[in-house]
Homo-oligomer: A and B are copies of this chain.
Amino acid sequence: MTARTSPEASRDIPEATVARLPVYLRALTSLVEAGTRTCSSEELAGAAGVNSAKLRKDLSYLGSYGTRGVGYDVDYLRYQIAREIGVEQDWPVVIVGIGNLGHALANFSGFRSRGFRVVALLDADPSRHDEVVAGIDVRPFADLEAIVREHGVAIGVIATPAVAAQDVADRMVGCGITSILNFAPTVLSVPTGVDVRKVDLSIELQILAYHEQRKAQGEATPATTGPGDPAHHELVREETA
Please give the residue numbers on chain A whose beta carbons come within 8 Å of chain B beta carbons, in ascending order: 1, 4, 7-8, 11-13, 15-16, 18-19, 21-23, 25-27, 47-49, 84-87, 91, 93, 99-101, 103-105, 107-108, 110-111, 114-116, 154-155, 170, 173-176, 178-181, 185, 187-218, 220, 224-225, 227-238, 240-241
Contact = CB atoms under 8 A, between A and B. Distances in A.
A213 B86 contact: yes
Contact of A189 (B100, B207, B235): B235
Interface of A is mostly: mixed
B204 A199 contact: yes
Given A103-B104, A154-B212, A234-B187, A22 B207 contact: yes
Given A236-B193, A238-B197, A207 B87 contact: no
Copies in the complex: 2
Contact of A230 (B11, B189, B197): B189
A149 to B, nearest CB: 10
Given A103-B104, A187-B49, A206 B238 contact: no
